[in-house]
Structure 1
């Protein structure tokens, strides 16, 4: 592997670039970003070695790390440009729509549908970290549809970055992510909005905010430009997750209204079991 091209030089794209350069010092990494400042920062920070709109003919890997609603067009345009020895993979949070779009593409074997479960609440090239992907899970969908020899190029990078590979059906991926990722962000954004609305009446409310509030609302600092498209791209699964969440909130509210201390205690004790599940997943 000698050359990588990255489209989208924010947190994930930038972290792939930094991590790859750390592991392969001689690697040539070109890239582009719709935001001129991101492109400038990526060059300054050493995420890429050269700014280029399109990948060179001899590029081994092209990484697509742009907002979810832009990936389809960029993926098709990129596949139409690259030679037969180039593999293109995306790092988007939704997979079913992309995989469906690519089903009959003549260069389908040159595409790998991937999603690293990694990130922070910060965005842009300055948020990128060389070790962001270390020991993180990377979900791959429809692996069998990618050319055997081409995916070895991606595996070389994934192995160097110490990613843990998992394999999943694209529809299953989107359904699960709606609950364990997308719903979490919606919940955090809405908590932030509720507190901001209260702040209009009570300027001192943040003086009482402790670590519990900070950790719960942390995701509300995430990039709206990235998350708004995810919510619409995975609409059906997210609406289903939201329906269940809202129903649980209403039921919990009812217990509080009735001063049902026993019911609240029992419900929260049952929910505490999630600690064991999360420990198993580490």
Structure 2
């Protein structure tokens, strides 16, 4: 590569990969971004929207300064091993997956494990594909980094500098703790949204009634049901144990609330709602 040019290869040009590419091109004028995607239309759109500078291939990994793996988590495991097999000794690699245990386990003994940073930027929307990419999607969002001690210190420093340039807050966590917490804070909310949408579609047979009567509360609650099944099914599979546990506790709370209504215990209903109102105090601190 030409001196002073930073070569980034982004594998997966959806919402997260595309948004990272946008911010990198904004924050680092010397960056040249190559895109790899298994859908040709994604590559064409990424070029059209100026997310990437060039189409890339696995050959481009060999002299890349950075490789970003932004594909569904079931694909990440295989692709990440191939990336680490191919890169130069000075290449920095990070993923953006919403699960971490299986990904970290897959590369724990790889000879180039020191080049890899297991990352999860807590950011996104319900939309997918290159057209969903947004500038500053990661501004003031938390980026969880797992097993940072297994990454070479020099690579850590460079990656943290990039993440902070993009505007991310950094938090460190072990993979198991990450997967447990994210099951409650992200995975459960997506399942809840999908199942609310499913219930309404099954019970409300008229699309016109759904359209006319959907208030802001329903729309905000069901928003995540617009998310990509191709992305979320592998997440639920990889984090099955923690997701099932969080679902069991959620279902138990729903059943308890249903019993309060059945038994006309409205003081208990009020108490339950009032105690749960504390969530707004927690979230208002963000």
Q: Deviations over 1:14-66 (max 9, x none)?
A: 00000000111221111111111111111111111110122343211100000
| CA displacement at 1:199 relative to structure 2 | 2.1
| CA displacement at 1:129 relative to structure 2 | 0.9
| CA displacement at 1:152 relative to structure 2 | 2.6
Which secondary structure does the structure 2 equivalent of 1:40 belong to? helix
Question: In 2, Cα distance between the equivalents of 1:220 and 1:260?
Answer: 32
Q: Deviations over 1:200-225 (max 9, x none)?
A: 26852432221000000000011111
Q: Deviations over 1:221-261 (max 9, x none)?
A: 11111111101110000000000001111111111111111
Match of 1:34 in 2: 38
Q: Deviations over 1:95-125 (max 9, x none)?
A: 0111112211111101100000000011111
Match of 1:193 in 2: 198
Stretch deviating more after TM superposition (53-62 or 30-39): 53-62
Query: Given the alignment of the two structures, is residue 234 of structure 1 paired with residue 234 of structure 2, yes or no?
Result: no
Question: In 2, Cα distance between the equivalents of 1:202 and 1:73?
Answer: 41
Match of 1:45 in 2: 49
| Aligned Cα root-mean-square deviation (Å) | 1.2
Query: Given the alignment of the two structures, is residue 207 of structure 1 paired with residue 209 of structure 2, yes or no?
Result: no
Match of 2:90 in 1: 85
Please say if residues 12 and 69 of structure 2, whose CA atoms lie closer than 8 Å, have aligned partners that are also in contact.
yes
Stretch deviating more after TM superposition (74-83 or 199-208): 199-208
Please say if residues 23 and 160 of structure 1, whose CA atoms lie closer than 8 Å, have aligned partners that are also in contact.
yes
Please say if residues 66 and 93 of structure 2, whose CA atoms lie closer than 8 Å, have aligned partners that are also in contact.
yes
The runs of 5 or more residues in structure 1 that have no matched partner are none
Where do 1:120-159 residues align within 5 Å?
120-159=125-164
Where do 1:16-31 residues align within 5 Å?
16-31=20-35
The runs of 5 or more residues in structure 2 that have no matched partner are none
* Structure 1 ranges of 4+ moved more than 6 A: none
Question: In 1, Cα distance between the equivalents of 2:221 and 2:245?
Answer: 22
